[in-house]
Amino acid sequence: MRWFVFIIMFFGTSAGAQSVDQRQLSKCVAESQETIALALAWKESIEAIGEEPRPFIFADQILAGYKDTLLRDTYKMLEEGTDAAEVMSSLEDSYDRIQFRVDLISDMVKEAYEASNDFVKLAEYVTQCASGYGGEFYTQQNEIADLRKQVADLTNELAEKVIQQDEKLRQLEVKHKADTRSLMDPYIKRIETLCILMKDFNHLDVLEKQVFVYGRKYDLCD
């Protein structure tokens, strides 16, 4: 069968570095065919009631039991007093693995519905099934996700530091303006008072004086 030869070739090229029991490979091939047969029967029943068969929904339904088991195991860990961080880590890892299988099945079923005869997604499913639905590809995906999270965390941390520095700068500017004003106010008051006294005593010779500041001429008193 062409699809079986294609799977063996795909498995040999993409996962040749992994040691896999040939019995497990045969089991996964059989499992893939049973899943596709079930998906085709499900498709007919869904179309019979006028609904659109969505491969993702099919995949999610046949793995629903794994999610139920995951929830029960999580509750059990919490009841036993397992550390919350450890529980969350285990939950996330297990859920990601289930979701990974959902995506594999969904893609394989979609390929079967399209009848493209490429068998690429079928081969991917068998490959990952034979390597325990994890293997090198899953590890790389996890590493990529972890690195992206680290980058996001660092970006958020940097943004928070920038906000904090901007706030400190704003506070310094406000303080500087206040300090400058407090230093200038006594001199401004003295000058205003002096000019008023000069006018009261009619010291025109002083009132008509001018001063230069940064190249511009100003009257000594307004």
Reported in sequence order, the residue ranges of 63-209 that DSSP labels E, i.e. its strands, are: none
The Cα–Cα gap between 220 and 209 comes to: 6
pLDDT score of 57 more than 70: yes
Confidence class for position 37, pLDDT limits 50, 70, 90? very high
What pLDDT sits at residue 148?
67
| Single-letter residue type at 186 | P
Q: Provide the number of structural domains found in the chain.
A: 2
Q: Which range of residues forms the domain containing residue 33?
A: 2-133
Q: Is the pTM of this model over 0.95?
A: no
Residues 186 and 124 in one domain: no
Residues 82 and 21 in one domain: yes
Residues 84 and 26 in one domain: yes
Residues 32 and 126 in one domain: yes
Residue range 172-208, pLDDT digits in tens: 887 777 766 676 777 677 777 777 777 777 777 776 7
Residue range 182-191, pLDDT digits in tens: 767 776 777 7
Residue range 123-142, pLDDT digits in tens: 888 888 887 876 444 455 55
Helices 84-114 & 135-200 angle (0-180, nearest 10): 120
Residue 99 belongs to some domain of the structure:
yes
- Contact predicate 128/138, CB 8 Å: yes
Out of 14-18, 100-104, 156-160, 178-182, which region has the weakest mean confidence (pLDDT)? 14-18
Q: Shortest CA distance to 29 belongs to which of 126, 102, 124?
A: 126
- Which stretches within 83-134 are classed as H helix? 84-114, 120-130
Last residue of a domain, one of 133, 151, 184: 133
